[in-house]
Amino acid sequence: KQEVTQIPAALSVPEGENLVLNCSFTDSAIYNLQWFRQDPGKGLTSLLLIQSSQREQTSGRLNASLDKSSGRSTLYIAASQPGDSATYLCAVLFMEYGNKLVFGAGTILRVKS
């Protein structure tokens, strides 16, 4: 069974700090990996998608890396702001499963002002 694990489960940092969220997955045969943000009671906002052939993607203060061989991805958030407070979800599209995204349990981030 393919699994996605996110560490830490929760993180609290002061405003302005740079931070890293971690995602690991059990099989290197993937189509892509996506990072999402979810605010309480809301749907998902796609942050970054990294295709299997790529090593990283950047959008503003966010940078996501992908190391398929080790089954790891990191989401780096620079100069964190209170508005970054949310749950961050990592999801992997495994080749074995074809269509199905497998989600991690998420990291709850709180940025204190």
Question: Of the two residues 50 and 111, which places its CB atom closer to other proteins in the complex?
Answer: 50
Exposure string (b/e) for 39-77, b if CB count within 10 Å is 16 or more? Answer: eeeeeeeebbebeeeeeebeeeebbbbbebeebebbbeb
CB of 70 to other proteins, least distance (A): 22
Residues 6+ apart with CB under 8 A from 39: 45, 86, 87
Residues that bind other proteins (CB under 8 A): 31-32, 34, 36, 41-44, 46, 49, 51, 89, 91, 93, 99-101, 103-106
CB of 35 to other proteins, least distance (A): 12
Which residues are 20's β-sheet partners? 76
CB of 75 to other proteins, least distance (A): 16
Question: Of the two residues 36 and 84, which places its CB atom closer to other proteins in the complex?
Answer: 36
